Chains A and B, each alone.
Chain A
Amino acid sequence: MIQINELHKSYRMGSNELHVLKGIDLDIKEGEFVSIMGSSGSGKSTLLNIIGMLDLADKGSYVLDGVPIKNLSEKKAALYRNKFLGFIFQSFNLINYKNAAENVALPLYYQGISRKIRKEKSLYYLEKVGLADWAHHLPSELSGGQKQRVAIARALASEPKVLLADEPTGALDTTTSYEVMDFLQSINDEGKTILVVTHEPDIADMTKRIVMLKDGKILEDKKVEQVRASQYV
Chain B
Amino acid sequence: MFDLDRWREIFQTINKNKLRTLLAGFTVTLGILIFTVLFGMGNGLKNTFYKFFQDDAQNTLFIYPGFATKPFKGFKENRRIEFENEDLELIKEKFGDRIEYTTARIYKGVTAKYKGEYGSYSVRAVHPDHQYLEKTIIDKGRYINEYDIKNDARIAVIGRLVEKDLFGNENAIGKFISLNKIIYRVVGVFSDAGGDREERNIYMPVSTIQLIYKNTEVIDQINLSYNMELGAAGAMRLSNDIEKLLKNKHNIAPSDQNGIYIGSVIEDLQQNLAIANVLQIIVTVIGIGTLLAGVIGISNIMVYIVKERTKELGIRKALGATPGSVIGMILQETLIITMLFGYLGIFLGNYILNSMGTKLEDWFITNPNVSQSTIIWATVILIFSGLIAGYIPARRAAKVQPIVALRDE
Is B a genuine binding partner of A? yes
Q: A54 touching B318 by the CB < 8 A rule?
A: yes
Task: Report yes or no: B320 in contact with A97, Cβ–Cβ below 8 A.
Answer: no
B319 adjacent to A87 (CB under 8 Å): yes
- Check B319–A82 contact: CB distance below 8 A: yes
Q: Which residue of A81, A83, A110, A158 contacts B325 across the interface (Cβ within 8 Å)? A: A110
For A95, the closest partner residue in chain B by CB is B312
A206–B380 alpha-carbon span in the complex (Å): 61
Does A90 interact with chain B (Cβ within 8 Å)? yes
Among the interface residues B314, B319, B406, which one has the most CB atoms of the partner chain A within 10 A?
A: B319
Within 8 Å of chain B (Cβ to Cβ): is A29? no
Q: Is the CB of A97 within 8 A of B408?
A: no
Please, which residues of chain A bring their CB within 8 A of the CB of B408?
Answer: 89-91
Task: Decide: A78 and B317 in contact? CB cutoff 8 A.
Answer: yes
Within 8 A of B (CB), among A83-133: 83, 87, 89-91, 93-95, 97-98, 102, 106-107, 109-111, 115
Tell me the dominant secondary structure on chain B's binding face.
helix
> A residues within 8 A CB of B319?
81-82, 87, 106-107, 110, 154, 158
Query: Inter-chain contact count A-B, CB under 8 Å?
Result: 65
Q: Shortest Cβ distance from B99 into chain A, in angstroms?
A: 77
Check B323–A78 contact: CB distance below 8 A.
yes
Interface bits A137-162 vs B (CB < 8 Å: 1, else 0): 00000000000000000100010000
Check A78–B315 contact: CB distance below 8 A: no
Given the complex of chains A and B, what is the CA–CA distance between A54 and B404 in angstroms? Answer: 9
A109 to B325, CA, bound (A): 11
Report B-chain residues with C-beta under 8 Å of the C-beta of A154: 319
User: What class of interface size applies to chain B in its complex with A?
Assistant: 20 to 34
Please tell me if B403 contacts chain A, counting CB pairs below 8 Å. yes
Asked whether, in the complex, the Cβ of A110 is within 8 Å of the Cβ of B321, the reply is: yes
Determine whether the beta carbon of B12 is less than 8 Å from that of A98.
yes
> Is there contact, CB below 8 Å, between B406 and A106?
no
Q: Which of A161-194 contact B (CB under 8 A)?
A: none
**A93 x B323 contact (CB < 8 A):** no
| B13 contacts chain A at the CB level, 8 A cutoff | yes
Given contacts A49-B403, A109-B9, A111-B320, contact A97 B315 (CB under 8 A): no
Complex CA gap A115/B321 in Å reads 17
The residues of B that contact A158 with a CB separation of less than 8 Å are 319-320
Show the binding face of B for A, using Cβ within 8 Å: 5, 8-9, 12-13, 16-17, 311-312, 314-325, 402-403, 406, 408
| Pairs across A and B, CB under 8 Å, 8 listed | A54-B406, A74-B323, A87-B318, A89-B406, A93-B311, A95-B316, A110-B319, A110-B325
